[in-house]
């Protein structure tokens, strides 16, 4: 029995398309069933641990109350330590009151009036700016000599240099003196690091590699606790509470990753979507970066799943679909209707169905609160905006078109995926309301800049691997073409763009008084995670081995507590 000519033609067409697919062989997931096992082993937090945490928390709370009688540097150091250890969410009211009191007592017309040492002035400036106070950077003129240069006494003050370097990373585009301060402290810290003990040198190098304003609190908390513990004058109660709280939160995060791992395994994406990366653990790490706090558990699990599914979407557009298939897939997403893709391969239908299921999941999760009416609408719009960006890249690739660097960055805001992640995370949080969503979809400067930072850092980490196959030009190639420069020069220009972007982020955080700080933190944390995930021009998301240390410290290894504690 012979097949009809039309059927034969369609089979041949499918085979032809298969040969043209830009498939790539991604490394498999390195975690196997590691986190699936946590589900059966999970014991939760027992009553003794809860009681210990509560007792220690009360004792730390007392420190804030007794700090009324402390001098300013003791208060600042306590707040700094609490924030570095990732336990400030327990004491936000106390921190707000303390910083308001300090602001009222030690500033006049938003200028610091305190004549303390290098460390205390820089720390005071940083903590107040982090809090949203528009403190003038002119205070740092006190660090200069008559010739207008930073004083040599500062050059030999290790603590002062470190504090100045940290403060300088809260600079805005107008803070010229902080630009100078950053260069000065950077140069002298590098010089001093070669002359100090290994432990002090390690502390300085860590500060240089990832200053506080660009780092993720939860990801660096262990390191700060370990450094603090080596200081003979450390407060044992505060340190013990920080460790206990870290372990309690880690158990919650283990439960979350085990829950979504079960969902991933049940969905069987490795078999059903074999061309795509399976990066669930790395995806969850990104959602953990957005917020580690217990009240965001539901948002973390949903966005962890979402990021893993976006990875499937990305690889569908990037490493599987033909231009004709992708046009139909884009139409299906736009209509939120499967009918345009009935003729497409089953693997693409699986990806579409999973996106729709996530839409149903966020609707179910927001129905009880009455927020589903607007959250679902914005979620779907954010998904379509992302797909629109992916489709633009697919067309550029198909046509062999290299856009200008500026044109690429506009589309890169969409393909960074960050607007979708922000929409979803905030949609499942306590600040999900129409005003916040209207703000998100008004293209605020802070979301645009954070998204561009994520896009270009990702490109610098992945473009060499991607350009080995038929692939759209990355930010690097677009930059090289627009300015007729070398790859090294493009890297330099893009890094300067990123640094300028951070100044805009700092400025926007100070200006956005009507947006809840926890919302702004979720947004900025995506830029911070980009600094981690694409450090040294490496794509650590795709190459999971490079994030293994963070996964182990955050999700596997508890903090060690002394027996008598």
Instruction: Tell me the per-residue pLDDT of 80-100, one tens digit each, with 9 for 90 and over.
Output: 999 999 999 999 999 999 999
* β-sheet bridge partners, residue 150: 144
- Segment 345-369, tens digit of pLDDT: 999 999 999 999 999 999 999 998 8
Q: Which residue has the tokens 């998904």?
A: 383
Q: What is the pTM of this model?
A: 0.94
497 pLDDT more than 50: yes
Buried b / exposed e along 339-358 (16+ C-beta atoms within 10 A): ebbeebbebbbbbbebbbeb
The neighbour count for residue 232, using CB atoms within 10 Å, is 5
> Average pLDDT over the chain, rounded to whole?
91
Residue 451 to residue 458: CA distance in whole angstroms: 11
Q: Can you state the percent helix, strand and coil of the chain, rounding each to 5?
A: 75, 0, 25
Domains and CATH numbers, the chain: 268-553 (1.10.600.10)
Which pLDDT belongs to residue 215? Answer: 97
The answer to whether the beta carbons of residues 159 and 117 sit under 8 Å apart is no
- pLDDT reported for residue 431: 87
Closest by CA to 350, choosing from 322, 329, 373, 370, is 329
324 vs 44: which has the higher pLDDT: 324
Distance between CA 170 and CA 503 in Å, rounded? Answer: 7
Task: Give the whole-angstrom CA distance, residue 122 versus residue 413.
Answer: 34
Q: Around Cβ 190, how many Cβ atoms within 10 Å?
A: 12
* Cβ-proximal residues to 548 (8 Å cutoff; 6+ apart), any chain: 30
Tell me: pLDDT of 553 over 60: yes
Predicted confidence band of residue 555 (pLDDT cuts 50, 70, 90): very high
pLDDT in tens, 238-258: 999 999 999 999 999 999 999
Rounded to whole angstroms, how far apart are CA atoms 63 and 87?
14
Q: What pLDDT is stored for residue 466 in this prediction?
A: 63
Helix (H) or strand (E) holding 109, with range, is none
Q: The tokens of 136 are what?
A: 């003038």
pLDDT of 465 reads: 63
pLDDT band for position 69 (50/70/90)?
A: low
> What is the reported pLDDT for 41?
65
The whole-number pLDDT of residue 156 equals 87
The first and second tokens of residue 213, run together, are 């304003």
pLDDT at 357: 98
Q: What is the CA radius of gyration of the chain?
A: 25
**Proportion of the chain above pLDDT 70, given as a percent:** 93
**What pLDDT band is residue 193 in, cutting at 50, 70 and 90?**
confident
Residue 442 pLDDT exceeds 90: yes
Query: pLDDT at residue 300 above 80?
Result: yes
Tokens of 219: 């990801």
Cβ proximity of 86 and 218 under 8 Å: yes
- Three-class SS state of 184: helix
């Amino acid at each position: 029995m012979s097949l009809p000519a039309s059927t034969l033609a369609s089979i041949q067409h499918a085979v032809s398309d298969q040969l043209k697919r830009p498939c790539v062989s991604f490394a498999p997931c390195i975690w196997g069933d590691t986190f699936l096992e946590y589900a059966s082993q999970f014991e939760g937090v027992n009553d003794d641990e809860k009681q210990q945490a509560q007792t220690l928390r009360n004792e730390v709370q007392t420190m804030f109350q007794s700090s009324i009688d402390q001098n300013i540097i003791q208060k600042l150091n306590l707040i700094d330590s609490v924030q570095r250890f990732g336990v400030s969410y327990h004491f936000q009211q106390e921190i707000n009151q303390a910083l308001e009191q300090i602001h009222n007592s030690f500033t006049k017309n938003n200028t610091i009036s305190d004549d303390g040492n290098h460390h205390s002035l820089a720390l005071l400036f940083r903590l107040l700016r982090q809090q949203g106070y528009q403190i003038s950077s002119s205070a740092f003129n006190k660090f200069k000599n008559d010739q207008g240069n930073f004083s040599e006494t500062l050059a030999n003050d290790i603590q002062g240099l470190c504090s100045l370097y940290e403060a300088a990373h809260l600079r805005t585009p107008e803070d010229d003196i902080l630009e100078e301060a950053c260069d000065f402290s950077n140069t002298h810290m590098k010089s001093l690091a070669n002359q100090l003990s290994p432990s002090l040198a390690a502390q300085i190098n860590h500060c240089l590699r990832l200053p506080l304003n660009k780092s993720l609190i939860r990801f660096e908390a262990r390191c700060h606790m370990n450094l603090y513990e080596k200081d003979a004058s450390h407060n044992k109660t505060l340190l013990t509470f920080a460790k206990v709280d870290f372990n309690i939160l880690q158990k919650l995060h283990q439960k979350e990753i085990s829950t979504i791992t079960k969902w991933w395994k049940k969905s069987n994406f490795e078999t059903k979507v074999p061309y795509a990366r399976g990066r669930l653990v790395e995806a969850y790490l990104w959602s953990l970066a957005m917020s580690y706090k217990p009240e965001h558990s539901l948002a973390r699990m949903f966005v962890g799943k979402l990021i893993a599914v976006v990875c499937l979407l990305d690889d569908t557009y990037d490493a599987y679909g033909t231009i004709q298939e992708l046009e139909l897939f884009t139409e299906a997403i736009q209509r939120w209707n499967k009918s345009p893709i009935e003729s497409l391969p089953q693997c693409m239908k699986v990806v579409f169905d999973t996106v729709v299921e996530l839409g149903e999941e966020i609707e179910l999760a927001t129905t009880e609160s009455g927020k589903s009416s607007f959250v679902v609408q914005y979620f779907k719009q954010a998904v379509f905006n992302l797909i629109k960006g992916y489709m633009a890249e697919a067309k550029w690739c198909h046509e062999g078109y290299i856009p200008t660097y500026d044109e690429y960055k506009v589309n890169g805001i969409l393909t960074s995926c960050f607007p979708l992640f922000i929409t979803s995370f905030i949609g499942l949080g306590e600040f999900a309301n129409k005003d916040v969503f209207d703000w998100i979809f008004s293209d605020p400067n802070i979301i645009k800049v954070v998204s561009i930072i994520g896009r270009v850092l990702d490109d610098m980490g992945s473009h060499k691997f991607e350009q080995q196959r038929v692939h759209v030009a990355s930010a690097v190639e677009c930059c090289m073409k627009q300015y007729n420069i070398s790859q090294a020069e493009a890297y330099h220009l893009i890094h300067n763009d990123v640094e300028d972007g951070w100044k805009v982020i700092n400025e926007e955080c100070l200006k956005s008084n009507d947006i809840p700080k926890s919302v702004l933190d979720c947004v900025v944390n995506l830029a911070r995670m980009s600094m981690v995930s694409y450090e040294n021009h490496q794509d650590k998301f795709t190459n999971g081995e490079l994030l293994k240390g963070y996964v182990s410290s955050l999700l596997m290894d508890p903090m060690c507590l002394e027996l008598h504690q």
